[in-house]
Amino acid sequence: MHCERARELMSPYLDEALPAPDRSVLAAHLETCPGCARLAADWRRIARTLSAVGRERTPPSLLPRLHRALAGARPAAARRSPRPLSSLRLLAAGTLLRRAAPMLAACVLTAVATWWLIGLAAPEAR
């Protein structure tokens, strides 16, 4: 297998979406080609890093605070006051930003990887 074909199949290989025959051929190539093996290791490291971004542990003090807040809440007061809704909007915006950060990082990473791979191609292949 040529390195160019290995790079084309790398993503489905790492996602375990590659058919078994192609998977075994690519695995054999990765054992003999240090450059492609290094690329696969880099992609695995990047995938682990991206999957870890945005996952924060829940603070231990959150559950008791929620119980106190719910115990002290009155349904009639909640309907009259717009404050809880605005607080929920701010909470939703913060959650949205935390979820958007990994997507933005993935987009930037994809753009950089594409630029890098195009730079590796021969000028006539571009």
CA distance 81 to 83: 5
DSSP label at residue 79: H
- The pLDDT, as a whole number, for residue 54 is 64
- The pLDDT, as a whole number, for residue 119 is 82
Nearest in space to 10 (alpha carbons), one of 43, 47, 49, 34: 43
Q: Measuring CA to CA, how many Å separate 23 from each of 8, 44, 103? A: 12, 16, 28
pLDDT digits (tens, 9 = 90+) for 44-100: 998 888 877 766 777 788 888 888 888 877 665 554 555 555 555 555 666 777 777
CA distance 17 to 112: 23
Which stretches does DSSP call E strand in the chain?
none
Token pair for residue 22? 């192609």
Say whether 77 sits in a helix, a strand or coil: helix
pLDDT digits (tens, 9 = 90+) for 1-45: 889 989 999 989 988 888 999 999 999 999 999 999 999 999 999
If one compares 41 and 124, the residue with the highest pLDDT of the two is 41
